[in-house]
Chain A
Amino acid sequence: MELIKKYPKLFQWLFLLVVFFALCFAIDVPETYKFIRGQAEFVKDPNQSTYILFGKEVRYYAFDNFWRLPPLLGWLPIWINDGLFFLLNEWMPMEFWDSATQEYKTRPLVLQISRNITAFMTFLIEFIREILLGGVETIVAFTSWDFVSSYSWAKLPGLPWTIVAAGAAILGYKLSGKGLAIFAGLVMVYISVFGQWKPSMQTLSFILVAAPLSFAFGLSLGIMAYKSKRVEKALYPILLVMQTMPQYAVLVPAMVLFGIGDHAAVIITMVVAIPPMILLTLLGLRGVSPEVIEAGKMSGCSNWQLMTQVLIPTARRDILIGVNQVIMVCFSMAVISAFIGAKGLGWNLLLALNQLNIGLALEAGLCISLIAILLDKMSLAWANKQTDYFGNLTFFQRYKNTIFFGGALLIGVILAFIGSFFFKEGFNYFYEVPHNKGISTADFWNKGVDWIWDTFFQTLKIFNTWLITEVLQPMRALYLRMPAVATLVLVVGAGYIIGGIRSAFTVGCLALFIALSPWWDRALVTTYMATFGVIASCIIGSVVGTLCQQNEYTTKFMLAVCDIFQTFPSFVYLIPVMMLFGVTDTSVLIAVIVYATIPATRYTIEGLRSVPPALHDAATMSGVTKIQRLFKIEFPLAFPHMMLGLNQTIVFALFMVIIGAFIGTEDLGQYILKALSDKAGGGKGLVLGICVAFIGLIFDNLIRTWVEKRKKHLGIN
């Protein structure tokens, strides 16, 4: 009894585990159970049970209710899908003027709205794209096809790559100085010389539309949430789910509403990029000290002046992190949205991966990563830039960037003009290096891959087989062996012990939603892969982080490495692992581990750094050794922060597991991928996405609650 009183939590955990295992052993695996147990709406099988709810027939394989709950939410995806179709095709038909056919047409409202948004987005993308690459669409938008076909000059010429490269370098110089200028110039030259110009500019034009729009919407919504509690309350649950929702899953419903193509990609990107922007705006505005706001008011600011000149600039730091996140999400989505037909580097990357042409994929991946790093650096520099408006500048000094750009424009045009005589075979290399005419390193890489395969095939294969048969398969089997009831008890119990009734209720509801969906087994597989990745990442991350933290230089180096790695679009991680391990689960898991190790390492370092130096000194003066200090003082104090890192690690791992479906996994991601090619997949994709989000949210809730309690206990605010 003494012991129970001393360690009450420990005994609660023990009790929970005992109950969990008892349930696991008490409930047998039904003989008819097979892993594949999706919603089988296309297959009619006499063994299936059915029920009808809200007019939707749901067929499923029934088991003992303790083993697997029946998919009582099976109607939900069908229902959502039908709802979407109804909205789009039947709801509120109205008369609209169609300018193309010059007559009124009856169209459902939502369809018309989606058409208008589509047209607007397409126009924006085409406009920027044609500035960079040339074309006629923009002029068509203002006039007509007839006009364009009758006047051959009526098209945007597109900028020669030399001008864009010079422009990027000048912009880099203006924002931050020589370093960024050189980097910007080199990136552009690289892209051009290696024949990636066209897809790169397509991707860039997509991002130049998506990022500012996401920023503007996110900022305004964030301000609205800051101003009104009601807006915040309405937004909060959506933001929470969107934070853990895999980007893949949004593709499907958006595709239903907006079709395929670049415009749909922009809309999806906005959907994914806006939530973090809102959160960070809100965080920043909340962080502005009340006295600064009062100072603004006492200076006689109107509401508008207060917002634009006091609040937003003061909250700049967080808002900028938001901008950064927006850009990162845009690049990530630039690749993923290739699935719904967005053009550019992502499309090439996807195509190359599909053909298992690792070299080509690597080239595209490198390009997109380089552009991502460039834009990331530029946005940061822009944010940190100070206007210096005192200095008596001469006319030249004041406008030197404009003058230089004008010069570059002139030289570029002249070069392109000369080039049109100089290059005989029809390609003007001073204007645009065509895709297949640049220097390609693909062969080199492919040979490298072949060499790796030839040389290490046996070793890799042995490792691969061992990992799959000895570790992954048993682990997966264990996860699937859990009866649904036992899992639910475990989740609810953990919630209760960590956060009391409230937490137990929240995580219980989230888990129940997944259990009642038709994809419980798949969710278990997703969880198993994520768990494996998270455990490995945490071990690697905390060890690497701790080691690096011992020295100031290694700390800085490691954080910089994390920064760069984080800038890579998530999809890019699949390339090197496919190089090494081919199309197997191991590839996915290694990508997961690499990707999820980033936050694990970063938060370990930051956590250890956050330990107050006074405590270091106090510990040293008490005569502890370095190891003692690490384990007795630094780890316990840094632990809450490191746990937040675990939270991020889990989200990262889940994202990568879902993306890994592209390589071929058997989890929720695979179904999301299937839903993409399914005409009635909108509802499915959404519900699947919500399932993944809920897995993330269960862990998120548990960890956050624990961290908050622990922080209170330790007296860290």
Chain B
Amino acid sequence: MSDAVIKCDSVYKIFGTNAKKMLQESNGNVDAKTFQKNGCIVGVNNASFEVSKGEMLVVMGLSGSGKSTLLRCISRLTDATDGKIYIEGQDLLSLNNKELIELRRNKMGMVFQSFALLPHKTVLENIAFPLQIKGIETEESINKAMDMVKLVGLDGRENYFPRELSGGQQQRVGIARSLAVEPDIWFLDEPFSALDPLIRKEMQDEFLRLQEKLKKTIMFITHDFDEALKLADRIAIMKDGIIEQLDTPAKIVLNPATEYVEKFTAEVPREKVLIIEDVMDKPTTNNLSDIKVSKDEIIENVAEKILSQQKSVAVIDENNKIIGTVNPSRIIHTVFGGRKK
């Protein structure tokens, strides 16, 4: 892909004093256990992928799977042990400190799990912080920050201190701060994990609304598979530093690549994840029902309509062209059948 904003090429991150040497000796075949015996911990193991412009890649994994480490390699909060990382074609690892700071000031924004707000600054000052660091004058930065406050819906609380806000509100500040410099690339490290379930859902919806508007290139880290399904354009599932599978939510749910991935997908309500296009058959002209469904509909929304029909239903694309059919039994099979116990 030519428009890849983030590109990783066999990235390794191994913690330990003689990590570099051991990595060279292993010729790229990194086995976590042998490394561990020698006092090295494998964080990221041979990660290669691309994120294109405006795409949201969600990296999903349990704690210790290396997902946060991967993110920190790409934001260069830690230096990758080996491999190449390109940000908009620029070799990230070859940047010197000054260039890196420049890149962060203009291109990157990051949201943290524990919010990481500066306790001594008000909401407004926190949001204006990256702007002031850049050297933008106080008045301008405050105005800009005020816009951000409105964007995340915190108007009226701009002079509060972080400690006076609830978790959800604090994370809104975190989000506003990361967006203040209008970055192209947006990193979110488990932004909603520390929130209550209800607030989390609200924030996810809010986040989707924002993304609809802003169209950033996003890397989103989570340990919550449902959250990944809900938000992602593509999901990368990580285990022990290795990306087990990287695909669209539907394809992951339908064809889990490894047993590990399957464990997550087993419990997923497919009707909520899959769209008609994922399950439709080839178009036929005979024996069709009267109604038609769009290929982008989520199964849950049209299941009742389809199931009430005796015959197959035509699937149309945005130009009203029939591109496939879907049979009621197909829907039943997708939702209820085909799961291994």
A residues neighboring B (CB under 8 Å): 289, 291-292, 294-302, 305, 309-310, 313-314, 316, 386, 389-390
- When distances are taken between beta carbons in the complex, the residues of chain A under 8 Å from B120 are 313-314, 316, 386
Q: Do B75 and A313 have beta carbons less than 8 Å apart? A: no
Known: A292-B118, A314-B118, A390-B159. A297 touches B112 (CB 8 A): no
Interface size class of B (residues with CB under 8 A): 35 or more
Q: Do A294 and B77 have beta carbons less than 8 Å apart? A: yes
The residue in chain B whose Cβ has the minimal distance to the Cβ of A301 is B133
Complex CA distance for A310 and B118, rounded to whole angstroms: 7
29 sample A-B contacts, Cβ–Cβ < 8 Å, listed by A number? A289-B114, A291-B112, A291-B114, A291-B115, A292-B118, A294-B110, A295-B110, A295-B118, A296-B118, A297-B77, A298-B75, A298-B77, A298-B109, A299-B104, A299-B129, A299-B177, A300-B105, A300-B106, A300-B130, A300-B134, A300-B181, A301-B101, A301-B133, A302-B97, A309-B133, A310-B118, A313-B119, A314-B119, A390-B124
Having A292-B117, A294-B110, A386-B120, one finds 11 other A-B pairs with CB under 8 Å, namely: A291-B112, A291-B114, A292-B116, A294-B77, A295-B110, A297-B77, A299-B133, A300-B102, A300-B105, A309-B129, A390-B142
Complex CA distance for A296 and B118, rounded to whole angstroms: 9
Complex CA distance for A296 and B187, rounded to whole angstroms: 14
Instruction: Please report whether the interface of chain A is mostly helix, strand, loop or mixed according to DSSP.
Output: helix
Complex CA distance for A641 and B112, rounded to whole angstroms: 34
Q: Do A297 and B104 have beta carbons less than 8 Å apart? A: yes
Q: Do B113 and A291 have beta carbons less than 8 Å apart? A: yes
- Residue B108 CB within 8 A of the other chain: yes
Q: Which of A295, A309, A316, A386 contacts B116 (CB 8 A)?
A: A295
Q: Do A294 and B134 have beta carbons less than 8 Å apart? A: no
- When distances are taken between beta carbons in the complex, the residues of chain A under 8 Å from B130 are 299-300
- When distances are taken between beta carbons in the complex, the residues of chain A under 8 Å from B133 are 299-301, 305, 309
CB distance from B89 to the nearest CB of A (A): 20
Complex CA distance for A300 and B187, rounded to whole angstroms: 14
- When distances are taken between beta carbons in the complex, the residues of chain A under 8 Å from B117 are 292, 295
Q: Do B116 and A300 have beta carbons less than 8 Å apart? A: no
CB distance from A384 to the nearest CB of B (A): 10
Complex CA distance for A651 and B146, rounded to whole angstroms: 52
- When distances are taken between beta carbons in the complex, the residues of chain A under 8 Å from B129 are 299, 309
Q: Do A291 and B116 have beta carbons less than 8 Å apart? A: yes
- When distances are taken between beta carbons in the complex, the residues of chain A under 8 Å from B142 are 390
CB distance from A294 to the nearest CB of B (A): 5
Q: Which of A297, A298, A313, A386 contacts B118 (CB 8 A)?
A: A313
- When distances are taken between beta carbons in the complex, the residues of chain A under 8 Å from B138 are 389
Complex CA distance for A309 and B125, rounded to whole angstroms: 12
CB distance from B219 to the nearest CB of A (A): 13
The residue in chain A whose Cβ has the minimal distance to the Cβ of B161 is A386
Q: Do B114 and A300 have beta carbons less than 8 Å apart? A: no
Complex CA distance for A300 and B102, rounded to whole angstroms: 7
- When distances are taken between beta carbons in the complex, the residues of chain B under 8 Å from A314 are 118-120
- When distances are taken between beta carbons in the complex, the residues of chain A under 8 Å from B187 are 298
Complex CA distance for A389 and B118, rounded to whole angstroms: 17
Q: Do B116 and A289 have beta carbons less than 8 Å apart? A: yes
Within 8 A of A (CB), among B64-115: 72, 75, 77, 97, 101-102, 104-106, 108-110, 112-115
- When distances are taken between beta carbons in the complex, the residues of chain B under 8 Å from A301 are 101, 133
Complex CA distance for A300 and B101, rounded to whole angstroms: 5
Complex CA distance for A298 and B111, rounded to whole angstroms: 9
- When distances are taken between beta carbons in the complex, the residues of chain B under 8 Å from A316 are 120
CB distance from A696 to the nearest CB of B (A): 35
Within 8 A of A (CB), among B301-336: none
Complex CA distance for A301 and B187, rounded to whole angstroms: 17
- When distances are taken between beta carbons in the complex, the residues of chain B under 8 Å from A309 are 118, 129, 133
Complex CA distance for A686 and B336, rounded to whole angstroms: 84
Task: List the 7 shortest-distance A-B pairs measured between CB atoms, nearest first.
Answer: A300-B105, A295-B116, A299-B130, A291-B116, A298-B110, A300-B104, A313-B120
